[in-house]
Structure 1
Amino acid sequence: MVIGSTHLDNCSIEKYVPIYLVVSGLAPLMFSGLSCRGNGDVETCCQLICGCFGFLFSFIWLICGTAWVYPTYGVVMSKDFKVCKLNETTGCSHGDCDKSLLRFAFAMVTIDWLLIAMWIGLIAWLIYKDNK
């Protein structure tokens, strides 16, 4: 969240990369604050709905982040990446992005996908274990 907010104007090639980091840092805080407290059936239902909505939002946001971060990372980190200057228009890019911002965003997206894969594996193992 902090890195995204400090680099909001440092990624002209893909303006959504820093926004992705800010929102993905704020989303867990928002959804944890929306969950209901209590022991009744209504509170349990509310927690389930908030949890499902939070997971769905985070999953869709991760897909969007992947679409923004991975292609940008590939372009900016390539050895032949060059920003267009003055009248130069061929063999260059019409935008730039802070490399530390891109490295961090790339790492966060990759870690999020790994965590989702681990959760899916754990759930599948638990279902398999219970049905055996």
Structure 2
Amino acid sequence: MDESAQVEFRPQGAVQIATVVVVNVMWLLVMVAAISFGVLYLDHCPVQPKIPIYLIGFGMSNIFTLFLTYSSKNSRKNSCTFILISFCLTILLSFSFGWFIAGTCWVYPVYPPAYAPGTAQYCHKTTYQFAFIVTTLMWVTLSVIFICGCCFCLLMCCRTVRARSRLIPSRRSFYGAIGDSNGDV
């Protein structure tokens, strides 16, 4: 592959790398916990039996996403592998988002379930609360990302409008005019 076509990466500071590693390890641990709760209490939520299945699928898809994300960073030299991993990552992220929406539809409507075993509205307390908290935190995170993205777009639009007034002369001026003329040449 042509060296000039390679993507240039700027050096990253130690604090930035450490932060990314710590956040990814914490997220990995949360996803392992989600899978564990889903497997251990698979039959302990009769009010909505899909909640433990949601936790298993959510955890597995996020772990695979982390794995593929780091695999794609190591395969940039082989373009065929990079394209294949990027395609799989796109499919996996689409599935994860759909699964998250489905989980939201399963977790929120049964709030609050009964935590006493034997009732029709029963769901294991720790499993349900874990699913509720993880789902809520994901919605908060997605909302913050969306709001920051909108603010960034608004900022870029304002910068473009401000720069436009400096780059494009008014209709009454002439590009080569010198002095106080009204645009009449």
TM-score range, shorter chain: 0.7 to 0.9
1:55 offset after TM fit, Å? Answer: 2.8
After TM superposition, give the deviation of residue 109 of structure 1 in Å: 0.8
Per the alignment, residue 152 of structure 2 pairs with 126
Within 5 Å, which residues of 2 pair with 1:4-43? Answer: 4-35=38-69, 36=72, 37-39=75-77, 42=80
2:92 aligns with 54
1:101 corresponds to 2:127: yes
TM-score, normalised by the number of residues in structure 2: 0.54
Q: Which runs of 4 or more aligned residues in structure 1 lie more than 6 Å from their structure 2 counterparts after TM superposition?
A: none
> 1:51-70 CA deviation, whole Å, 9 max, x = no partner?
43333222211111011111
Q: Share of identical aligned residues, percent? A: 25
Structure 1 CA distance for aligned equivalents of residues 63 and 97 of structure 2: 16
Q: Which has the larger radius of gyration?
A: 2
Q: Which deviations, in whole Å up to 9, do the C-alpha atoms of 1:44-92 show, x marking residues without a partner?
A: 6445534433332222111110111111223x159xxx82xxxxxxxxx
More deviation in 99-108 or 41-50? 41-50
Q: TM-score w.r.t. structure 1 length?
A: 0.73
Task: Give me the whole-angstrom Cα distance separating, in 2, the residues matched to 1:69 and 1:114.
Answer: 16
Instruction: Say if 2:98 is the partner of 1:66.
Output: no
Counterpart AA for 1:6 = L
Q: Is the 8 A contact 1:73 1:103 kept in 2?
A: no
Q: Mark the CA change 1:112 to 1:30 in structure 2 (over 3 Å): closer, same or farther.
A: same
Any idea what SS the aligned residue of 2:147 has? helix
Give the drift of 1:107.
Answer: 0.6
Deviation, 1:104, is 1.0
- Alignment size in residue pairs: 118
In structure 1, what is the equivalent of residue 21 of structure 2? none
Q: 1:122 and 1:64, CA in 2 relative to 1: closer, same or farther beyond 3 A?
A: same
* Structure 1 partner of 2:5: none
> What stretches of structure 1 of length at least 5 have no aligned partner?
84-92
